[in-house]
A and B are shown apart, each in its own frame.
Chain A
Amino acid sequence: MPLLEIKDLHATVGEREILKGIDFTVNAGEVHAIMGPNGSGKSTLAQVLAGRELYTVTRGQVTYDGKDLLELSPEDRARAGIFLAFQYPVEIPGVSNMYFLKAALNTIRKSQGLEELDAFDFLTMVRDKMTLMNMDQTLLNRPVNSGFSGGEKKRNEIFQMAVLEPKLAVLDETDSGLDIDALKLVAHGVNTLRSPERSMIVVTHYQRLLDYIVPDFVHVLSGGRIVKSGGKELALQLEREGYAALGIAEDEEVACVQ
């Protein structure tokens, strides 16, 4: 049984249809890259999978781990093992990173019938994972993402993923805004978390990230549909020839306006 099966997925924001029939299947342990120009619907797909209410699913099915994913609230999806690494991680002044992550971990553990961790056990558990992401421990006492640099925010996302240990991680443009050192660090964190039980969907505009996180499958999204699927070589072809070689404009938002 596949871990995730998306069939004919349509989604709108307001009056506007953004996803116009997406189909693909992710099996346990696979890494799928979703590529596409700006405005093609990549981030929408990521947010729909995480349950963002801003988008309305108008048609299609998404089956996750044998369940109807679209029936679940965002928190229940997270408890069932879905994790979204945000393109723009949200700053939450007044809530410490430690409090936030401990609350998240404990609700997820509770839903899995595991015991909640106290502050001491939590710290013991996260220490190695902070080292993995080269994060300073003082970051735990700072408010969530508040005053973090762009790189720190992205590292924090992967750190959270390492702590929450999802079954399906969706990385939404985790590479955007990162310099090469930060990118390598983030990719190293992600690669460490690759396992036969964990699947990933890596959404990216550029092939660059895929040099470090090598996907099993690549899908090219355009106009709210997957227009081409292939192996990792498809990403390299896009890198060489550009989206234009597939007859796709580099920036679809602009194309729409024109």
Chain B
Amino acid sequence: MRAVALETGQWLEDFTRQAAVAPWMQQLREYAFQRFAETGFPTTHDEEWRFTNVAPIARARFVHATAVPLVTDAPAGPEPDVAETYLGKLASFRENPFVALNTAFLEEVVLIQVPRGAMVEKPIRIDYSSADGAHTAPRALIVLGADAHCTIVENYSGTGRYFTNAVTEIVAGDRAVVNHYKVQREDTAAFHVATLAVQLGRSANFSTNSISLGGALVRNDVNVVLSEGTDATVNGLYIVNGTQHVDNHTSIDHAKPHGTSHELYKGILDDKSSAVFNGRIIVRKDAQKTDSKQTNKNLVLSDDAVIDTKPELQILADDVRCTHGATIGQLDAESLFYMQSRGIGKQQARSLLTYAFAQDIIDRIQVADLREQLEKFLFEKFHEHAH
């Protein structure tokens, strides 16, 4: 038995102490826990976790607590069997130990269903807040019928040293339109691991924007499966300093022809922080005429920050266009001098340029109050940091 597997024993107690749920959910919990007990926490020997050492999570002891999400502006009355139909079908507990652990603690599922043709104009908000020492397993399932529209904003925050292990599944019907935002503003002492699994219908239009600001150790997995003519935008922004570590793994699976995907991840790293970007693009054999673009740009503000960026293209079709690029750079000396030569102080110039680097991700946020809130937050963060 591996050492890490021993650590899973600690979770058994919390697992068995859970209150009973519906039989189908209980069964899903048990399969998932069994899987978690088999694999244990991943180690850096696992390719998927090469640059992210989760030992601090494995070694720590948290007290399991039910996640209490605050959901606002969700449409009323999801059908009763929708959870049973979809839950666990997209986020596979077989492939990811953290998804297995989350599934083992299924309880309060945020269930949002937007019926066929319905347009939900107001963004639906899901807010989670964690307390010191807690382990929570937030779980959300969002199901859109054909031609349905909605916007989802997930927000994660808390106080202290805790562990959030979240899974969100989104199923969108044909021609559905979903704009998804995730804002991770956990305590800088907290651990945050999350998977977003998305299955899109024909000609559906999907965007996700993952803003990762807090956390001591953060791992975000975004897995999107496209259908014929689907358009997917997968954007992200990560801003870390101190000894923060953030790992973004994305997988965009072009399963059918004529799909389009655009991916832009930007990162700002300071002090001794570290970040990982791993962008997998899969183009299946019959996914001809796929058009896919991936970009990862990093601004490194200190000598000690570390970034590992890796595109991972698996292209099995022959008539496709796939481009990818990654950059790692510092603040431009010419731009700094230009600003200084106009009287702007060096520190202010640095903070303006840093802010400007993040600007194009922020500008793409369609939810006005969220955008303004982030603009203000970032502006103050860089300004404060510069002084």
Known: A89-B338, A90-B334, A92-B353. A75 touches B360 (CB 8 A): no
B-side contacts of A73, CB under 8 Å: 340, 346
Q: How distant is B134 from chain A, measured CB to nearest CB, in Å? A: 38
Contact A103 B340 (CB under 8 A): no
Let me know if B60 is at the binding interface, CB within 8 A.
no
Chain A stretch 73-98: residues in CB contact (< 8 A) with chain B: 73-75, 77-79, 83-84, 86, 89-90, 92-95
Known: A73-B340, A86-B338, A100-B339. A94 touches B346 (CB 8 A): no
The number of chain B residues with a CB under 8 A from chain A is: 23
A-side contacts of B338, CB under 8 Å: 86, 89-90, 92
Query: What is the chain A residue whose CB lies nearest that of B340?
Result: A74
A-side contacts of B341, CB under 8 Å: 50-51, 74-75, 77-78, 83-84, 86
Q: Residue among A74, A95, A101 with the most chain B CB within 10 A? A: A74
Contact B343 A108 (CB under 8 A): yes
Let me know if A197 is at the binding interface, CB within 8 A.
no
Let me know if B337 is at the binding interface, CB within 8 A.
yes
Known: A90-B335, A92-B335, A94-B360. A78 touches B340 (CB 8 A): yes
Q: Residue among B341, B346, B358 with the most chain A CB within 10 A? A: B341
B-side contacts of A103, CB under 8 Å: 344, 348, 352
Contact B353 A95 (CB under 8 A): yes
The distance in angstroms between the C-alpha atoms of A52 and B352, with both chains bound, is: 19
Contact B342 A160 (CB under 8 A): yes
Query: What is the chain A residue whose CB lies nearest that of B345?
Result: A75
Contact A78 B346 (CB under 8 A): no
The distance in angstroms between the C-alpha atoms of A86 and B359, with both chains bound, is: 25
Which one of A53, A100, A143 contacts B342 once the chains associate, using CB atoms below 8 Å? A100
Query: What is the chain B residue whose CB lies nearest that of A92?
Result: B335
Contact B357 A164 (CB under 8 A): no
Q: How distant is A55 from chain B, measured CB to nearest CB, in Å? A: 11
Let me know if A191 is at the binding interface, CB within 8 A.
no
Q: How distant is B194 from chain A, measured CB to nearest CB, in Å? A: 28
Interface size grouping (class) on chain A? 20 to 34
Let me know if B265 is at the binding interface, CB within 8 A.
no
The distance in angstroms between the C-alpha atoms of A93 and B359, with both chains bound, is: 9
Q: How distant is B361 from chain A, measured CB to nearest CB, in Å? A: 10
A-side contacts of B334, CB under 8 Å: 90
The distance in angstroms between the C-alpha atoms of A73 and B340, with both chains bound, is: 8
Q: How distant is B372 from chain A, measured CB to nearest CB, in Å? A: 16
Which one of A92, A93, A111 contacts B343 once the chains associate, using CB atoms below 8 Å? A111
The distance in angstroms between the C-alpha atoms of A182 and B334, with both chains bound, is: 25
Contact B343 A79 (CB under 8 A): yes
Please, what's the 1-or-0 string for A176-198, where 1 marks a CB less than 8 Å from any CB in chain B? 00000000000000000000000
Let me know if B355 is at the binding interface, CB within 8 A.
yes
Let me know if A107 is at the binding interface, CB within 8 A.
yes
Let me know if B367 is at the binding interface, CB within 8 A.
no
Q: How distant is A199 from chain B, measured CB to nearest CB, in Å? A: 17
B-side contacts of A90, CB under 8 Å: 332, 334-335, 337-338
The distance in angstroms between the C-alpha atoms of A59 and B338, with both chains bound, is: 25
Contact B337 A52 (CB under 8 A): yes
Let me know if A104 is at the binding interface, CB within 8 A.
yes
Query: What is the chain A residue whose CB lies nearest that of B359?
Result: A94
Known: A52-B337, A53-B337, A90-B335. A104 touches B344 (CB 8 A): yes
Let me know if B316 is at the binding interface, CB within 8 A.
no
The distance in angstroms between the C-alpha atoms of A149 and B245, with both chains bound, is: 41
A-side contacts of B343, CB under 8 Å: 75, 78-79, 104-105, 107-108, 111, 164
The distance in angstroms between the C-alpha atoms of A95 and B331, with both chains bound, is: 14
B-side contacts of A50, CB under 8 Å: 337, 341
Let me know if B356 is at the binding interface, CB within 8 A.
yes
B-side contacts of A105, CB under 8 Å: 343
B-side contacts of A160, CB under 8 Å: 342
Query: What is the chain A residue whose CB lies nearest that of B356?
Result: A94
A-side contacts of B342, CB under 8 Å: 78, 100-101, 104, 160, 164
The distance in angstroms between the C-alpha atoms of A86 and B337, with both chains bound, is: 11
Beyond A78-B341, A78-B342, A94-B360: 19 further Cβ-contacts under 8 Å? Answer: A50-B337, A74-B337, A74-B340, A75-B341, A75-B344, A90-B337, A92-B339, A92-B353, A93-B356, A94-B356, A94-B357, A100-B339, A100-B342, A104-B339, A104-B343, A104-B344, A105-B343, A107-B343, A164-B343
Q: Which 5 interchain pairs have the tightest Cβ spacing?
A: A94-B356, A78-B343, A104-B342, A74-B340, A94-B359
Interface residues of B (CB under 8 A from A): 332-335, 337-346, 348, 352-353, 355-360
**Selected A-B contacts with CB under 8 Å, 11 pairs:** A50-B341, A51-B340, A84-B341, A92-B338, A92-B339, A93-B356, A93-B360, A94-B355, A94-B358, A107-B345, A107-B348
